[in-house]
Structure 1
Amino acid sequence: MKIAVMNYTGTVGKTTIAAHLLAPRIPGAQVFAVESINETAESLGTAVDQIRAERFRDLLRKLVTLDDAIVDVGASNIEGFLDALRRFEGAHLEFDRFVVPVTPGVKQQKETAAMLTALSAFGIQGDQIRVVLNRVEHDAKEEFPMLMQFLKTTECAPVPTAFIYDNEIFDLLATLNMSIGQALADTVDHKVEARKAREGGDKKAQYFHEDMIILKALSGPCARNLDSVFQEIVA
């Protein structure tokens, strides 16, 4: 499966979704970052082939030979990426899904609606687009009222029923330069190691092991949450 992750607005979790939701669940997928100035999935521990939107021809050449790929389009390159889709007729057909992440906020919801409208203008069918509501605290309908209404009235994309709940795990993963999979596979008894470090006066090691205890406690619920969102994306 080939998936493009994109939105006009920045800081909505595109790169986090590429690195922590999609890449671990599509084994062997090559990850491309269409980005020039912002963070890419590589900084989150995922191997990335970085490319600028104006080199879309190079990206397209690689995509046509792949079965699985994730293309993380940064906000700084979104206009160039869309312009390339206009110039290269049928290029959008290389993608099976267009994932549009959004966080609560009026600006983010307005720009997401504009993104969905732009994708529809290319002739991309609603069943190929997935809106991912990110950083949901309690009730998605209350936190994304404008976007939910837009989706119901336009049918540009299915109304999402699975959401990414707000979770401090992603900041912790970035700090520790780890993946959720690595945290779940970790077998070290960090309680024992934290006590040893405290008794030995090694504050750095103590804090690391304490962070790992927290990370491991958060990883299971987060992985199950991301599993449910992934199933909705590929359905």
Structure 2
Amino acid sequence: MTTEEKPTILLIHGSWHTPLHYRHLIDALRARGHPVLAPVLPTTGHDDSIDGKTFLDAASQVRGLLVPYLDQDRKVVIVAHSFGGIVTAHIVAGLSLEERSAQGLKGGVTSIVYIAAQLSPENLRFKPGNAPPFFEWIDQNKHSLPADFARSILYNDVEEPWLDEALRLLVWQSLASCDPDNTYSASEIRVPKTYIVCTNDKIVELESQHKLAEIAGATVVELESGHSPFLVKKAIEPLVDIITKGSQ
């Protein structure tokens, strides 16, 4: 199979993160011959442009990038980490290979790989009065994570120097990220799905990950890792194996 024939990987990042956090995974995927798209979601950043931005805004922006790409007869695998799972359902709606083919259109999304992903905004809608105590408020529109929390919960198995770099790259998150009510369910997505359960995850419990995978109708693959396997050297190749296996 040539490089051009291999599916493109569309990476949807998590809260407080940017694509730079995933550069080791991106490099490894490209080394296997996969083109990678990794847009910055409008819900994350270091300025006031993220104020009021929701997961629907993020999905709309990514679809604007994706549709012209699919029109070039590209096949795309979506890899969604954490909060990215919520965004993904609205990205894929109507863009599967099967649905586009039925409309006489080329290209399409062929599969989804979730990494310790949330699938619904219901449990993540926070206001200043009911948000977790570890949030640091920038203002009434956005929040960040203190380094100590990120180190112990998001990056519990990440080693230096990748740990220090990951902490420095963390950005702000829009408070409105999960506000909208009109959600498209992951179970409605008409493509094969794989859910990578991170067995040492300190933020999304093991049982919850399995339940989310069941709700999505996804095949479960367990990976011995914390919430951020793309920052754990020994987990990179197994992670890439899982992603690329689903793209063949």
TM-score, normalization by structure 2: 0.43
Quick check: which one's helix share is greater?
1
Bigger radius of gyration, 1 or 2? Answer: 1
TM-score, normalization by structure 1: 0.45
Q: Which gives a bigger RCO, structure 1 or 2 (Cα 8 Å, sep 6+)?
A: 2
